């Protein structure tokens, strides 16, 4: 592409003059030009080390005979954005990232790309861009954070948010809260549990778009520098062999990723991102397929927040490839899918043994016979809703209780902090969906407060918004249609009985059909005054059940 459109021929002499302005020699111009998409910034802990990763990728590309050129991508820290207006700008960046990367790659005629993402929307945004541009592309993430440690117990960001709830309930002192604050996030990297960033980096491996260890080698390990060099070499091999993202991200590969998602117990946000990535690949991936995969896929891992193991433990146990090898023992993984290595999934995972059955359960001894995520439907969510089943206490898998209704996260948080939510309640937070938020904010503050106050075994929370991967408990998100689009969640009234049955994949508002019909007939969704990018986003975005893609 580069040689044909930019470098070769008399007509491209002006282009070559601008390459000389960059200091590129004729020798460099004659080699494949590899764009390195750097997500480095100084505000996101998962991205502060990416400059080192990028430099290693550059070395790898150069060693393999290519010319590396770096350009940027943005990233938002969901933790820092949590609980305020900033969270409205998190999910929306996924499309900004995809659009801007597509624009840079197509405008400058790169022969290949190496994507260097790490955090929540940054990874799926770049996977979407890779599918659109469809030139040889490899991913290498910045890597996960090491777990913290308080009183000899490993901790992660979810521990920190729950500590705030415990403090509010008078269960821990201010001094103990300060200790959590100073020790929970001890290194750079994506937060150390199986939250959204780590989920997507692991699923990048499962898709075949990243090398082994992409999702699990800790950010501070020198092995990640080596991985980055190998990623630079790998893209050069892909250029020679003309292996492209849509050769890799096929429907079968996406089914593999969804299967691994269920086995790992990934963030519910994967149910937004995988359909959006599939859409860019020309593949339909709906929520009904998710339940079909979940029904036959055992849950093999309980990483934080579902359990007490962390990303470093998964790496030591054999990583994503070991999980895939376990799944392969029962024919749950398609081994024929192509990958960025130029080899198939089957060739890649061969011999990748499970080194710690306490971290990765064997296929014959799973945590459950069904996957870590469930899609619930019913009159309250006719198009679907999502819950992280593997992080729900057994006594909350079936729950029925009165609705406590709030039209925004802040009002719900205030009620929880004031002790107004009691055992048995179902907290309803609406007008937080893709359109209604807009931006589909994560509800980590209220869910963590509920857990920290000791109500996790008796209170459920439902929302047309979404959850951080750090959320645990009976928390049902992505309720579609959302309130702003005229969904039933918009007419739920205080005290209405809501029934949640996760094993049966149902969520019901127990109101007489005639009463519900009358409410819906008279329902006029609330509208917010919007401006700027959020106004444009709200006008274009689809519902959560279809991945919150832009139409």
- DSSP H/E element including 15: helix 13-21
**CA-to-CA dists, residue 308 to 195, 435, 476, angstroms:** 13, 36, 22
CA dist 49 and 283 (Å) reads: 34
- DSSP H/E element including 479: strand 475-480
Query: Is there a contact between 413 and 126 (Cβ–Cβ < 8 Å)?
Result: no
Residues 485, 488, 493: CA angle, nearest 5 degrees: 120
Q: Tokens 């069904």 sit at which residue?
A: 370
CA dist 134 and 281 (Å) reads: 9
Residues 444, 448, 453: CA angle, nearest 5 degrees: 155
Residues 6+ apart with CB under 8 A from 536: none
CA dihedral for 351, 356, 362, 366, sign (positive or negative):
negative
CA dist 319 and 324 (Å) reads: 9
**CA-to-CA dists, residue 430 to 168, 401, 403, angstroms:** 24, 17, 12
Q: From the candidates 39, 156, 328, 468, which is the catalytic residue?
A: 468
- The DSSP code for 147 is P
Task: Give 550's strand partners.
Answer: 541
**CA-to-CA dists, residue 538 to 91, 289, 429, 431, 543, angstroms:** 12, 27, 18, 12, 10
- DSSP H/E element including 384: strand 381-387
Query: Is there a contact between 150 and 144 (Cβ–Cβ < 8 Å)?
Result: no
| CA-based nearest residue to 539, from 456, 462, 438 | 438
| CA-based nearest residue to 208, from 170, 171, 254, 177 | 254
- The DSSP code for 218 is -
- DSSP H/E element including 506: strand 506-509
Query: Is there a contact between 396 and 457 (Cβ–Cβ < 8 Å)?
Result: yes
Residues 6+ apart with CB under 8 A from 59: 229, 232
Q: Is 468 a catalytic residue?
A: yes
Length of the chain: 551
3-state secondary structure of 238: helix
Known catalytic residues?
A: 468
């Amino acid at each position: 592409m580069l040689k044909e459109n930019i470098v070769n021929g008399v007509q491209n002499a002006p282009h070559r003059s601008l390459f000389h302005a960059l200091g590129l020699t004729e020798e460099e111009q004659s080699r494949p030009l590899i764009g390195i998409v750097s997500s480095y910034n100084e505000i996101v802990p998962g991205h502060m080390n990416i400059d080192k990763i990028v430099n290693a990728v550059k070395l790898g590309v150069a060693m393999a005979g290519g010319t590396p050129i770096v350009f940027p991508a943005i990233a938002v820290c969901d933790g820092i954005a949590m609980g305020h207006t900033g969270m409205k700008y998190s999910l929306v960046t996924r499309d900004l990232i995809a659009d801007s990367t597509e624009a840079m790659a197509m405008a400058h005629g790169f022969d290949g790309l190496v994507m260097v993402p790490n955090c929540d929307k940054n990874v799926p945004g770049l996977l979407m861009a890779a599918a659109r541009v469809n030139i040889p592309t490899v991913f290498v993430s910045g890597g996960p954070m090491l777990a913290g440690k308080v009183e000899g117990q490993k901790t992660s960001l979810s521990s920190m948010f729950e500590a705030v709830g415990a403090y509010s309930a008078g269960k821990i002192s201010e001094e103990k809260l300060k200790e959590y604050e100073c020790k929970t996030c001890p290194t750079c990297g994506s937060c150390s549990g199986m939250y959204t960033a780590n989920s997507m980096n692991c699923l990048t491996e499962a898709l075949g778009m990243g090398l082994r260890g992409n999702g699990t080698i800790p950010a501070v390990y020198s092995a990640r520098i080596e991985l980055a060099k190998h990623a630079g070499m790998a893209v050069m091999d892909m250029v020679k062999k003309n292996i492209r993202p849509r050769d890799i991200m096929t429907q079968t590969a996406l089914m593999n990723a969804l299967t691994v998602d269920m086995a790992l117990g990934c963030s519910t946000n994967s149910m937004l991102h995988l359909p959006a990535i599939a859409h860019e690949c020309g593949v339909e991936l709906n929520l009904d397929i998710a339940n079909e995969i979940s029904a036959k896929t055992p849950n093999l891992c309980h990483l934080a927040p579902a359990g007490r193991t962390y990303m470093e433990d998964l790496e030591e146990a054999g990583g994503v490839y070991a999980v895939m090898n376990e799944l392969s023992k029962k024919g749950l993984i398609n081994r024929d899918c192509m990958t960025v290595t130029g080899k198939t999934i089957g060739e890649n995972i061969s011999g990748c043994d499970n080194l710690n059955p306490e971290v990765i359960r064997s296929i014959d001894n799973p945590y459950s016979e069904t996957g870590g995520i469930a899609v619930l439907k019913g009159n309250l969510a006719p198009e679907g809703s999502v819950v992280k089943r593997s992080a729900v206490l057994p006594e909350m898998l079936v729950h029925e209780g009165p609705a406590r209704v709030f039209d925004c996260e802040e009002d719900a948080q205030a009620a929880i902090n004031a002790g107004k939510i009691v055992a048995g309640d179902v907290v309803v937070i609406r007008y937080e969906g893709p359109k209604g938020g807009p931006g589909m904010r994560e509800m980590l503050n209220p869910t963590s407060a509920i857990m920290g106050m000791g109500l996790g075994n008796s209170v459920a929370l439902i929302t047309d918004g979404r959850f951080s991967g750090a959320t645990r408990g009976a928390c049902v998100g992505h309720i579609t249609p959302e309130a702003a689009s005229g969904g039933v969640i918009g007419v739920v009234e205080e005290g209405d009985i809501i029934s949640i049955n996760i094993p049966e994949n149902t969520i019901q508002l127990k109101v007489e059909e005639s009463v519900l019909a009358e409410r819906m007939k008279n329902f006029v969704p609330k509208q917010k005054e919007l401006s700027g990018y959020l106004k444009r986003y709200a006008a274009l975005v689809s519902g959560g059940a279809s991945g919150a893609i832009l139409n």
